Amino acid sequence: LLIKPNNMDLYKTLLFPIGMGHGILFIAYLILATMLKFELDWSWKKYAIIAIASVLPFGTFYIEKKYL
């Protein structure tokens, strides 16, 4: 998905830092989920459901209530 930003100043000062932070938090979530999978001996099915739910909007809230 390539989108040329219309307002480069807005992109540099607001969108890029927020997007970068969002990406870092997403990767950190997946790393922590992987660490917990081995630490708490989760099944691969439970881990896969948690990993897939991390991509869906508000999926983590559902998983926290149902599985954790």
Mean pLDDT (the chain, rounded) = 87
pLDDT given at position 21 = 94
Give the predicted TM-score (pTM) of the model.
Answer: 0.72
- Residue 5 binned pLDDT confidence (cut-offs 50, 70, 90): low
d(CA 12, CA 7): 9
Residue 35 CA from chain centroid, whole number:
15
pLDDT digits (tens, 9 = 90+) for 34-65: 999 999 999 999 999 999 999 998 888 888 88
d(CA 26, CA 32): 10
Rounded mean pLDDT of 11-27? 88
Domain-wise residue ranges, the chain? 38-68
Residue 34 CA from chain centroid, whole number:
13
CB 28 within 8 A of CB 41: no
